[in-house]
Amino acid sequence: MDKLVYTAASGLKGHMAAQAAIANNMANASTIGFRADRVVFDQLQVSGPGIASRQPASEQLADFDRRQGTIMQTGRALDVAIEGDAWIAVQGADGSEAYTRRGDLRVAASGVLETGDGFPVIGTGGVPITVPPAEKLMIGPDGTVQIVPVGATPGQAPQVVETIKLASAKGSDTVKGLDNLLHVRGGGVLPRDQEAKVQSGALEGSNVNLTEALVDMIENQRSYEVQANLLKEAKTMDESSAALMRLPS
C-alpha cells in the first residue's frame, strides 16, 4: 500500500512540475530569444524562472527545446538575429561566461553593451564590450561593433570597437540555467564560431508553439487527475483493509 501511495504522490509531483513548466513557456511566448523548457519525466527535471519551487535544488539545470524561433525584421540598428546555431556570449550574474540568443542589444549608462535582460555582451577578448560615446552605432554581419565617434567629420569611416563573441555549442554538453542562459555543464566556455553570422535589424522570437503548449497543458491536467484518483483509491483500499482487521467489540 505504501508503494502505491508513493507512486501516486510521485506522479502528482511530476505533473505539477510539468504544468508549471508549460505555464512558464506560455508566459514567455513573446520573449525575445526564449527557448521553451522541456520536462524530463524520468528525472522530474524542468528549467526556467521559478524553478526552485518546482524541483529539488540539486536539479537546477535541464534540457530545453533547441529549435530556432521565427526571425522578425525590426529595422533597429542594435537588434541582431543569429543565423544558424551560434550563441551570443554574455556575462552571467555570477561573472561566468554564458550564452543567449536574445539579440535586442542596448548600451547601458555605463557604456557597456548588454542584452535586453541586462547581461553584458562579451567580446572576442573575453571581457564585456564597452562602447565609447558615439553618434552612430552599427553591428556588422560577423558581430563587429562599429561606431561613428561624437564630433566625427562628415564622411569619416566608422571605427571598430570590438567583435561580439559568437560561440558554437556543437559537440559540447550544454544546459539551460535558471537565468534562461545556456551554460556548459560543469563549467567552462564554448569556442568561438568563426563562421557565425548575424542579421542586423532583426530579432529571433520565442520558439514556444502556443498550440502545442495548450494541448500539452490539457493532456497533463488529465494525467494529473488520473494520479489524484489513484491516490484516492489507495486511501479507500487502506480504509477497507483497516475495517477488516478491526476486531468486533
Q: What is the pLDDT of residues 94-106, one digit of tens each?
A: 999 999 999 999 9
- Of the listed ranges 17-31, 86-100, 173-187, 235-249, the least confidently predicted one is 235-249
pLDDT > 90 fraction of the chain, expressed in percent and rounded: 52
Quick one: how many helices (H) and strands (E) in the chain? 2, 14
Taking each helix axis from N to C end, the angle separating 210-245 and 2-27, rounded to the nearest 10 degrees, works out to 160
- Of the listed ranges 8-22, 140-154, 183-197, the least confidently predicted one is 8-22
Q: What is the band of 52 on the pLDDT scale with cuts at 50, 70, 90?
A: very low
Give the angle 86-90-95 at the CA atoms, nearest 5°: 140
Give the angle 75-169-46 at the CA atoms, nearest 5°: 90
CA distance 179 to 152: 40
Q: Does the pLDDT value for residue 47 go beyond 70?
A: no
DSSP state of 117: T
> What is the average pLDDT across 103-112?
95
CA distance 191 to 100: 14
